[in-house]
Amino acid sequence: MTKIFSFSISLIILMQSFGIHANDISQIDELMEHAQFHNEQYGDGILVFIAKHYGELKADHAIDHQEEKEDHEQLPFQHQCHLSSISSFILNSFNEEFKSMELPEFNEHNFYYQEPSSSLHLEGLFQPPRLS
């Protein structure tokens, strides 16, 4: 089950990276019908069909065949996606030497340490065992 799930998520990410939407997949049959129409009507092969609808001949084909405008709008992969990213950085050439800050010297002590002393220690109470 996890393999199917991971495969489907990977497939979705791959399709999104190519710019394929879900409605494009549902319009594949219209693409096939229109390609077949072009083959029968004009004798276009698949490469010429793709060039007329998605490539360099698209503008000329749209002008020459206004009657097919509604069919062309139903074809998949007609959406326009523009992604732009602007990356900039500024090199700051302002260079100022850091002046060291002079701290006043404090001679006062904030605490006093007294060595611990205990009468129990002097009596030998905390000694290691003598018999084992």
Residue that the structure tokens 């030998």 belong to? 124
Q: What is the mean pLDDT of the chain?
A: 77
H-type alpha helices, 1-87: 2-18, 22-26, 28-42, 46-54, 58-64, 69-73
The pLDDT tens digits of the residues spanning 81-107 come to: 656 667 766 666 665 666 666 777 766
Q: Are 31 and 76 in contact (CB under 8 A)?
A: yes
Is this structure's pTM higher than 0.75? no
| Number of alpha helices (DSSP H) and beta strands (DSSP E) in the chain | 7, 0
What is the C-alpha separation between 60 and 15, in angstroms, rounded?
Answer: 29
What is the C-alpha separation between 96 and 108, in angstroms, rounded?
Answer: 35
Does the pLDDT value for residue 112 go beyond 80? no
Half-sphere exposure for 47 (CA within 13 Å, toward CB): 0
The pLDDT tens digits of the residues spanning 35-63 come to: 898 889 888 888 888 888 888 888 888 88
